[in-house]
Amino acid sequence: MAEERCSGIGTTHPGVEGNRTFMSGFSTKLYQGQQLRQEMKINPRLYQAMELLYMPLLDLQQHLKAELEENPFLEMTEADVEDEVELKDEDKDDPPDDEIDWEGILLDDVDVGGRREQFEPAEEMYQRAAVETTDLRDHLYGQLRLLDLTEREARLGEEIIGNVNDAGTLTCDLNDVLAGVNAWLEDVRPAAQEAIDALEDSEEGRAELDAMFEPYDLPEAEAMLGRVQALDPPGVAGRDLRESILVQLQILGKADSLTYQIAENHFDDLVNHRWAEVARELSLKPIDVQGVADEIAKLDPKPGMKYSADPERYIVLDLIVEKIEGEYMVFVNDTSLPRLRIAQSYRSLVQNKALFKGENKEFVSRKLNSANWIIQAIEQRRQTMLKVMAFIVDRQLEFFEHGVQHLRPLTLREVADHIEMHESTVSRVTNEKFVQTPRGVFPLKYFFSSGLATTSGEDISARGVQDKIEKLVGGEDVHKPLTDQKLVELLKTDGVKVARRTVAKYRDQLGILPARMRKRV
């Protein structure tokens, strides 16, 4: 048998002429070759069409305004006359308006190739203009400047405030605050030293400099933290929830109260509703401890959130469902969108093809095709939204008549199959879209949920089950709250078959505490 010996760079085979060493794993040569393969490349216009479906109403409005500015063949028109005049081109054989060949519009174009990233628009195309607001730190800095502080104290206060998060909690240890502010002192001291040395009589200045640039210590930081915690809002700059609650009680003048004593020494027991243990240790009645917990629950656990810099989110309706003469009707809320048509001023110009040659012809053809395409794309978006919402109304008719407990299971696949479009298209149509109904305003995604079996053989929506759980808990005896297992049994008597772990999951999603935490004395 031939012997084989391995080395770090190749394999030597005795008996082979020249003992050749094969270095294929380390080859750095370049090669050219031909390869035949099939590849699907999506037309750039298809990406744009998908993006139009995805856009909420406000973004679409801005997009159309931008198109109006860039494309001279587009112009705005009033809604009642937008279809009066149409471009007539004898060389084109377009389908009638009521039978738009949408697939042809999207895919009947020159394949430009390239990667998806070259053509796909950014997910967020337009950003709303920022509105100047005062966040928590600005609010605290403003109050700090009104205090009678030395420059040294003010700097330490600013360092503490800079480490307060949006919820109003101090996010680091005071030793970390000291490390940061002392490092700043070392950075600025040389410049101050040069200024003092430039003075003729600098002895007094040096003494002041030494005092000003002496490293901060922990007692100074503790004292300044106390002054920051006295600012508005009450409880700000607490190092944890317990300290924030204690500060709020101090500001309310309850530093000597039983509430303060229990919050200071038995905070974990209060959080976990172990009222009987606290009562036993302090020789109190459990109901007294429960009263203390109720009082503490009225305080703000995140005092900084009222100054949150996050802008308010306004909902713009995309669809409207109204009940007219006993029948539910669906309307697209697109009155704010600019109505587009081919510009009349260019119609006669386009028909005289002798004027257009070379680059002019290419420009006119490209812009005209783009104008025609976007007009039809917007109409297709509108029709798709109407189809999706009409099917939702038809499927969820019991919900519109009787409420959330009658919401039926529904998936994107079911809608896609009904309207004969891809599931991803339905997902884009329903994303970030809102509808106004006789029962309130809902995101379109609200109507989609999984289903659970019932004893009658029908399915019930998961949202319907959650609503049942919420109602059962809302009507329970607070002294004997319903456990998850008890909720399972009650739902079973109502015809809903559900596992205990599923009930626990739905309860958590609803923000409902476990039975032990809901129990009242």
Which tens digit of pLDDT belongs to each residue from 5-15?
444 444 444 44
What is the 8-class DSSP label of residue 299? S
Contacts of 382 (CB under 8 A, 6+ apart): 332, 334
The Cα-based distances of 10 to 15, 406, 423 in angstroms read 16, 72, 53
Report which residue type is found at 210.
Answer: D
Whole-model pTM? Answer: 0.62
Percentage, residues of the chain above pLDDT 90:
31
In angstroms, the CA 495 to CA 500 distance is: 15
Beta bridge partner(s), residue 322: 329
Cis before 311? omega within 30: no
Q: Is 466 exposed, middle or buried (0-12, 13-18, 19+ CB in 10 A)?
A: buried
Angle at 160 between CA 158 and CA 166, to 5 degrees: 100
Which superfamily is assigned to 451-518 in CATH? Homeodomain-like (1.10.10.60)
Res 354: pLDDT: 62
> 134 φ, ψ to 5°?
-100, 115
For 219-235, the pLDDT digits (tens) are 999 999 999 999 999 99
pLDDT at 387 over 70: yes
Q: Is the dihedral of CA 341, 344, 345, 350 positive or negative?
A: positive
Is residue 384 classed as helix, strand or coil in its secondary structure?
Answer: helix
**What residues does each domain of the chain span?**
41-76+93-129+314-448, 136-307, 451-518
pLDDT in tens, 279-313: 999 999 999 999 999 999 999 999 998 887 555 66
Query: pLDDT for 113-137, tens place per residue?
Result: 344 344 344 444 444 544 556 789 9
Cα(343)–Cα(370) distance, integer angstroms: 13
Start-to-end C-alpha separation, the chain: 87
State pLDDT tens for residues 141-197: 999 999 999 888 999 999 999 999 999 999 999 999 999 888 888 887 777 667 666
**Cβ–Cβ under 8 Å, residues 463 and 510:** no
Highest mean pLDDT: which of 31-35, 121-125, 143-147, 340-344?
A: 143-147
Tell whether the torsion through CA atoms of 147, 148, 151 and 154 is positive or negative: negative
Residues contacting 313, CB < 8 A, separation 6+: none
DSSP lists the bridge partners of residue 441 as: 436
Angle between helices 359-395 and 57-70 (to 10 degrees): 160
Alpha-carbon radius of gyration of the chain: 35
Contacts with 285 (C-beta within 8 Å, 6 or more apart), sequence order = 279
